[in-house]
Amino acid sequence: MNRPGQNMNRQSRRKARNAMRSAAIFVAGLALFIAIVAPYAWLVISSISHASELTSVPPHWIPHRPTLEKFIQMFTPDIRGISETAAMFKYAMLNSAIVAIFVTIITLIAASLAAYAFARLTFPGRDQLLLGIVAVRMLPAISIMIALYVTLTKLGLLDTKLGLVLLYLSFTLPFAIWIMTGFFKTIPVELEEAARIDGASRLGALFHIVLPLSAPGLVSTGIFVFMASWDEFFYPLIFTSTYLAKPVPVAITEFAGRHAIDYPAMAAGGVLASIPPLVLAFIFQRYIISGLTAGGVKG
């Protein structure tokens, strides 16, 4: 028989283990939070600091003379003495927004139709074609760079926003088709069959039944496509040369000149570039979380 004292010892040891486990989880979570937030916090601090403070040894973690000078320069280009990159940065923001929005809209429309076909229709080579689409996404961009450059040059789309939209679709569409196919497969076929019995066409069932039920998947896919388009650097670095189409990631790098680097301006550009994705993530966070989990559960 167990004695009362032994039971109390077991309970106390169990409580101690639970407390240690909780403390370890808290410490791990705190470390992860710091690792995620610290770089962005330093980016914000750098954007309101003077270059002399950032290059001092040791660096000033808290700026002695905080300033919004770099942000003001980017939105008031009439100030004398500012760099061309700062004066044109707002146009780079506009270019990124236009390209990312059009890429997201076109991708969601085309990917929804294609993914529905892969999820619901039966035709020869369906699985192989889907794998082929994903395989295209795995191609290194550098391997097709010359062919793309020649093609855009002949079409007159070099250094244009339309050219960037077409380039970005080459990697956003395969990703979106693959993801949306998984979402559509989680929706019971019986719902569509009931709609078709009531007289709806296949496209009618798609637009009135499938797409509304796939809203979390559409939103989360759209957010990822937007961020991929917004953050893309390699393609615009090669295919743009002026601010007619140059987006934010390339514009930020131009704060680094041959003889000097404007660290505060580069940090200010990074802060401004981070705002649209952050706003979208906060607005649609409920859909993003449910969308990330929906694709892995069969309906």
**pLDDT tens digits along 160-173:** 999 999 999 988 99
Q: Which residue has the higher pLDDT, 264 or 258?
A: 264
Q: Share the mean pLDDT of the chain.
A: 83
- Separation of first and last alpha carbons in the chain: 51
For residue 136, what pLDDT is reported? 78
* CATH superfamily membership of 70-294: MetI-like (1.10.3720.10)
Q: How confident is the model at residue 195 (pLDDT cuts 50, 70, 90)?
A: confident
pLDDT at 98 over 90: yes
| Cα-Cα-Cα-Cα dihedral sign, residues 79, 83, 89, 91 | positive
Between CA 166 and CA 89, with CA 255 as vertex, the angle to 5 degrees is: 55
Query: Cβ(254)–Cβ(85) under 8 Å?
Result: yes
Amino acid 223 reads I
Average pLDDT of the residues in 259-279: 86
Six-digit token pair at 133?
A: 């689409």
For residue 79, what pLDDT is reported? 60
Q: How far apart are alpha carbons 195 and 205 in whole angstroms?
A: 6
Of 27-31, 36-40, 102-106, 140-144, minimum mean pLDDT range: 140-144
pLDDT in tens, 201-225: 877 888 888 888 888 888 888 988 9
Q: How confident is the model at residue 249 (pLDDT cuts 50, 70, 90)?
A: very high
For residue 299, what pLDDT is reported? 42
Domain ranges for the chain: 4-47, 70-294
Amino acid 64 reads H
pLDDT at 254 over 70: yes
Q: What is the SS3 string spanning the chain?
A: CCCHHHHHHHHHHHHHHHHHHHHHHHHHHHHHHHHHHHHHHHHHHHHCCCHHHHCCCCCCCCCCCCCCHHHHHHHCCCCCCCCHHHHHHHHHHHHHHHHHHHHHHHHHHHHHHHHHHHHHCCCCCHHHHHHHHHHHHCCCHHHHHHHHHHHHHHHCCCCCHHHHHHHHHHHHHHHHHHHHHHHHHCCCHHHHHHHHHCCCCHHHHHHHHHHHHCHHHHHHHHHHHHHHHHHCCHHHHHHCCCCCCCCHHHHHHCCECCCCECHHHHHHHHHHHHHHHHHHHHHCHHHHHHHHHHCCCCC
pLDDT in tens, 36-86: 888 889 899 988 888 888 878 777 788 888 888 888 888 876 665 566 777
For residue 97, what pLDDT is reported? 94
Amino acid 35 reads A
Q: How far apart are alpha carbons 167 and 136 in whole angstroms?
A: 13
For residue 161, what pLDDT is reported? 94
pTM reported for the whole predicted model: 0.82
Query: Cβ(63)–Cβ(54) under 8 Å?
Result: no
For residue 188, what pLDDT is reported? 82
